[in-house]
């Protein structure tokens, strides 16, 4: 089955720790994205990548980092610099920019 | 600032009632328009999309949306909702000046049996 796989589904982090969220796609899409979803705020763009080895900051990139070493993979690291990391994180991909995006199941991160 | 606005944050309807959810955007020029749905515990999935052509777009599960260029709107409609339509609905806009889809804040729809 083609799709986007995010792991883990739930993640707990202690304050001061970095954590990495996994995102893998087998749709052969060039573009991949990370969004953050908070209640009442919709989805906000953290980072995006249009091709391998290239990525750009989105609207709320502070405290996050990404890499794109393979077409299929776009991991997101939530660093200790992110002041309010508790949220639902969604990874998506699309064949080209601004076309239909396909989403993973999401990772719910909680800071304890 | 350029944005996507969904004015209805929480809508409660009875089964068989008609639904209309508003979506307005502030981008000029050519846009691609989308409605996504997020059922409880599930991933976001596409309901329908508009790129060009007939401004009345039909999607899955009986949903439709109308693009009105002069009003910068792309409202979602369904003539008769079902309990299974309970979900959160997001409008999204793709624009050549943006790097990725921009989403509205979402509308939570609760359908009472």
CB contact under 8 A, A41 and B45: no
CA distance B48 to chain A (A): 10
Mutation target among A29, A36, A43, A60 for the B interface, most CBs of B within 10 A: A43
Q: What percent of chain B has pLDDT over 90?
A: 81
Note the pLDDT tens digit of each residue in B64-98: 999 999 999 999 999 999 999 999 999 999 987 77
Q: Place A94 in a pLDDT band, splitting at 50, 70 and 90.
A: very high
At residue B95, the pLDDT reads 83
CA distance B17 to chain A (A): 24
CB contact under 8 A, A103 and B90: no
Note the pLDDT tens digit of each residue in B29-78: 889 999 999 999 888 999 999 999 999 999 999 999 999 999 999 999 99
Between A16 and A1, name the one with better pLDDT: A16
B52 φψ region: left (φ > 0), alpha (ψ -120 to 50), beta (else): beta
At residue B1, the pLDDT reads 56
């Amino acid at each position: 089955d083609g799709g986007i796989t995010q792991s883990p589904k739930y993640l707990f982090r202690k304050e001061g720790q970095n954590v990495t969220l996994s995102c893998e796609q087998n749709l052969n899409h060039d573009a991949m994205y990370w969004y953050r979803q908070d209640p009442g705020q919709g989805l906000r763009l953290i980072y995006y990548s249009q091709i391998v080895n290239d990525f750009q900051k989105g609207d709320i990139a502070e405290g996050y980092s990404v890499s794109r070493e393979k077409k299929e993979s776009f991991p997101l690291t939530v660093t200790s610099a992110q002041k309010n990391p508790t949220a639902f994180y969604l990874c998506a991909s699309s064949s080209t920019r601004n076309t239909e995006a396909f989403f993973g199941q999401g990772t719910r991160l909680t800071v304890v | 600032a350029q944005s996507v606005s969904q004015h209805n944050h929480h809508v409660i309807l009875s089964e068989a009632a008609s639904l209309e959810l508003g979506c307005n955007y502030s981008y000029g020029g050519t846009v691609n328009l989308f409605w996504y749905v997020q059922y409880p515990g599930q991933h976001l999935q596409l309901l329908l999309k508009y790129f060009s052509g007939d401004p009345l777009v039909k999607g899955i599960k009986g949903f439709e949306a109308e693009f009105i260029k002069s009003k910068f709107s792309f409202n979602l409609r369904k003539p008769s909702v079902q309990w299974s339509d309970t979900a959160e609905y997001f409008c999204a806009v793709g624009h050549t000046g943006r790097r990725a889809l921009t989403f509205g804040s979402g509308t939570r729809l609760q359908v009472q049996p």
